[in-house]
Structure 1
Amino acid sequence: MGSRIKNDVKKLFEFWCEVKPNRGLERGTNSRHGGPTPPAGVILESFPEGFRDKEVLTGIPSFAFPCDFESDSVQSYSFVHTTGDSKWRFGFCRHDPKTNTAMVLITYLPWHDTFLKLLPVLVELKKTDPDGFRTFLSEAYNRGVPDSGGSLTVFYNSGQNHFIFERPLQFQLPSIPQNHNLNLYYNFVDPKEMIGVFAAMLAERRIIFTSRHLDRLSSCIQAANAFLYPMVWQHIFIPVLPWEFKDYLGAPMPYLIGVPKAVLETVSNDELGEVVILNCDTKIFESPFDDVHDLPAEIVSQLKKNLSHTQDHIGDRVSKIFLGALVQLIGGYRDAVEFHDTSKSFNHDKFIESRPGHLRPFLAKMMELQIFAQFIDDRLKMLNSGLGFSDEFELETVRYAEKMKKRGRNYVFLKNVKDKYDMGKCRVLRVFAKNYI
């Protein structure tokens, strides 16, 4: 299945619209006639006029108004629609209680921070200059997409103001405070629960996030999903689940779904079965499994220790903590790559044998995961095509290998002097061992 991100994107966005909710009817059935479910909302205005993707047009009202909720403040969140070729199409939505409408942008670009910043600009421009608003949309729609690390500037208000579409660097890790999703996840979910979710994802469980706040819900689940890098979640992924699609919660395969609290309250435990649930409002994590215990103890210990140092978490520190755990687990995959005349392949048995003994039981289980199989497949494709690697995962793998190599040299050094000096009495050696081994 590979990456869920579309590569050859030609436009900044595919579709813009404003939606109003349907009121006066119960969600689920027509309360008057017992008929089919009424649409959650109606599209009032849209751009471009020629957009004809029926599946997107039909689904937008449900994602814009996924359930009945009361809000006295603006809420901005993201949702995901999976296309027929298994690519993710992102929706960015902004609810305004003053207008009682939702503004929605549909795009193939996972630029969460850029599009969440754009929505209030569009709201203000539409209110103050309707003609200029359409001109802005048209120019942004037709200008194309900037290269990696580049930007594109679109002016409005007769050139007095502008908005910069900044393309994130490839493989850039989420950072605090720049990344909106990670900020909310870090602020509303404790490290212990983050580790629990991480372990459940590495076991490919059926995982539910829930919250009464749509912005918090989508941000937390998007941030948790990002911690799986360099692997990619290959199963059902729905950051915000509309009421109309709640049957997905009974699916027998792995999933990662954000369920508004109002929707989750309509589903019984029997309907859910064995699921992992994180409540982002109460910080309560529930699981019928012991996935954290199944992780190598050394990995769990390091995650707890590193995440407890709150003063060090500005920048991409939190992202690198989880990346570091995956580097220890799968960073040595190249040791099991076998070279043939015309291609390269991966030897699973060789990989297990090359890893430290305390990691082998867990890695043996990882061999059965779809996320790991796809990771290996993607890396082999890159190797077979002659492409090198310069992403953060490969760089951290090199750093970790150098660290282990140095640790090995230090261990040999201490072993050689052990007979000559009493480690208990030699303060210099005790400090050396504590800091570098």
Structure 2
Amino acid sequence: ASIGNFFRRSLRRAGRREGKDEASAAENTPPRAPQGKPGERSSVFYSAGQFFFEYLVVVSLKKMPDGRYEPKIAYQFPKRENLLKGQKEEEERLLQAIPLFCFPDGNNWAPVTEFTSETFSFVLTNVDGSRKIGYCRRLLPSGRGVRLPEVFCIISCLGCFGLFSKILDEVEKRRQISMAVIYPFMQGLRESPFPAPGKTVTIKSFIPESGTELIELTRPVDAHLEHVEFQALLQRLSPTLILHIFASAVLERRLIFLAEELSVLSQCIHAVAALLYPFTWAHTYIPVVPECLLDTVCCPTPFMVGIQMRHLERVLEQPMEEALIVDLCEGKIIRAVGDEEEILPGKLQNEMLMSLNRHNNNNNVHTSEQVNALVSEAFVHFFVRLVGHYASYIKWSRSGSGSFQERAFCKAITSKSCRRFVKKFVKTNMFSLFIEEAEKSRIPQEGNG
């Protein structure tokens, strides 16, 4: 199968799932947040025409009697009324979880005069398996003297980090004028349909002393890459280390990423999960783990989590099983299983290494979107070479149901090193889920009825 055919099959399959599955990573959040069943796939929507967002929430720090600060929701738009009992319970769970993820770094806060704004995201899973992304901008409100930072969090079921970063730029600009200026902008956004891939929506917004502004929001052409920034990964890790991380992720191992900045953690972990496309990470996935949930690393099942560097000692003290621990600040691996270099077939690993080195040394010749497309293509090509023949080994019954012939599929691979890897890969949850989808959605193949 060619790369083109593989992409077309995957994208057509994604099209069938639109409104059901997320093209990037799934996340099973810990018990304190709304959660679904472990191993469930993501259900973040990518459909055009939906609302941009469900809520805009402002989370501020409130001083408690013991002197500590706790994050609390100070503002919510829109206020939903006349909810059914189940909807009200869902909203309450969501609103309880949001502050925890907006200030995941604990209660050690104090008023400051300077603070660098940062953008990050998290994902919450509801009891029915539906998922919502929180896009956050943490900033210091304008004013004199010492102040506490606050977080503007947009809750949406749409995965598009770049687009929402631009929206948060507009929110921050208005916050420096007045909270009252944010409301009409968000109302206009809420009344606008989410654009189709490659399309633009224009929002009219009035700002005092500036007049009416036209804000254009354009959605990337490649829907599966719109929540991703591979450049963030390439800037912090060598191509060799990226491949070791990819190899661990492909075999669904435990991965811990460390960095101090929340934006670095969320960007890099989203990028690692996106390297698996068209497969989906289907285990615990928390780009920024709140301090009170650090014992997540003791989980015996696969996980991909981000933890702030200040908690490194506490993490290393935890009684956890084998895991790959990656330091994104220093660009090194702190702890490894030891076989990461031997997981991927040698020839294909070298080809990907050459490709990553090429993109890593482009000296800003390519735009961020071009780097995303080129890097993604290199990893898709890896999967094409190894498992691109999967459709030929789905046996179809007269009733239309499919049955994957795993043994014959593996036997068809002539290279011993490739066959050895694929025999492990077919046992992963991500491959099983992919094949389950393929067995349900028959796509006509050349010479295959």
TM-score tier, shorter chain, comes to 0.7 to 0.9
Q: C-alpha distance in 2, partners of 1:388/1:284?
A: 45
Which structure has more relative contact order (CA 8 Å, sep 6+)? It is 2
Displacement of 1:351 in angstroms is 0.7
TM-score using structure 2 length: 0.76
Which structure has the greater CA radius of gyration? 1
Q: Tell me what 2:144 maps to.
A: none
Equivalent in 394, 398, 403 of residue 337 of structure 1? 394
Between Structure 1 and Structure 2, how many residues are aligned? Answer: 373
Q: Which amino acid aligns with 2:218?
A: E
The residue aligned with 1:318 is: 375
**1:260 and 2:308 equivalent?**
yes
Q: Distance in 2 between matches of 1:265 and 1:13?
A: 38
Residues of 2 paired with 1:338 and 1:168: CA distance? 36
CA distance in 2, matches of 1:277, 1:190: 15
Taking a change above 3 Å as real, the CA distance of residues 96 and 132 of structure 1, as seen in their structure-2 partners, is: closer
Residue 294 (structure 2) aligned to one of 223, 227, 246: 246
More helix, by proportion: 1
Residue equivalent to 2:212: 160
Counterpart Cα distance in 2 of 1:332 and 1:138: 48
- The answer as to whether partners of 1:19 and 1:43 remain within 8 angstroms in 2 is yes
In the alignment, is residue 89 of structure 1 matched against residue 132 of structure 2?
A: yes
The answer (yes or no) to whether the contact 2:133–2:157 under 8 Å persists in 1 is yes
1:73 maps to amino acid? T
Distance 1:189 1:87 in 2: 33
The correspondence for 2:160, drawn from 111, 120, 128, is: 111
Q: How does 1:82-231 map to 2 (within 5 A)?
A: 82-98=125-141, 100-128=149-177, 130-157=179-206, 160-173=212-225, 181-231=229-279
- Unpaired runs of 5+ residues, structure 1, are 26-30, 33-37, 390-397, 399-437
1:395 maps to what in 2? none
CA displacement, residues 263-300 of structure 1 (integer Å, 9 cap, x when unaligned): 34323444233111111001111312413302211121
* Seq. identity, %: 24
Q: In 2, are the aligned partners of 1:203 and 1:291 still within 8 Å (CA)?
A: no
Partners of 1:326 and 1:39 in 2: how far apart?
A: 48
Report SS of the residue matched to 2:319. helix
| Residue segments in structure 2 that go unaligned for 5+ positions in a row | 1-39, 82-87, 142-146
1:80 has 2:123 as partner: yes
CA contact (8 A) 1:93 1:104 kept: yes
Alpha-carbon displacement from aligned partner over 1:199-239 (angstroms, at most 9, x marks no partner): 00011111111101111111011111110000000100111
Post-superposition offset of 1:331? 1.2
> Alpha carbon RMSD of aligned pairs, Å?
2.6
1:41 aligns with 2:71: yes
Question: Match of 1:426?
Answer: none
TM-score calculated relative to the size of structure 1: 0.78
What does the per-residue CA deviation read over 1:348-375, in whole Å, with 9 as the maximum and x for residues that have no partner? Answer: 0111111223211111111210000011
d(CA) in 2 for partners of 1:307 and 1:87?
34
Q: 1:6: Cα distance to partner?
A: 3.1
Local SS of the residue matching 2:420: helix
The one-letter code matched in structure 1 to 2:77 is: F
Q: CA deviation at 1:170?
A: 4.9
The answer on whether the counterparts of 1:132 and 1:156 sit within 8 Å (CA) in structure 2 is no
1:297 aligned to 330, 334, 346, which one?
Answer: 346
Q: Does 1:5 align with 2:44?
A: yes
- Classify 1:204/1:43 alpha carbon distance in 2 versus 1 (closer, same or farther; 3 Å): same
**Residue type of the partner of 1:165?**
L
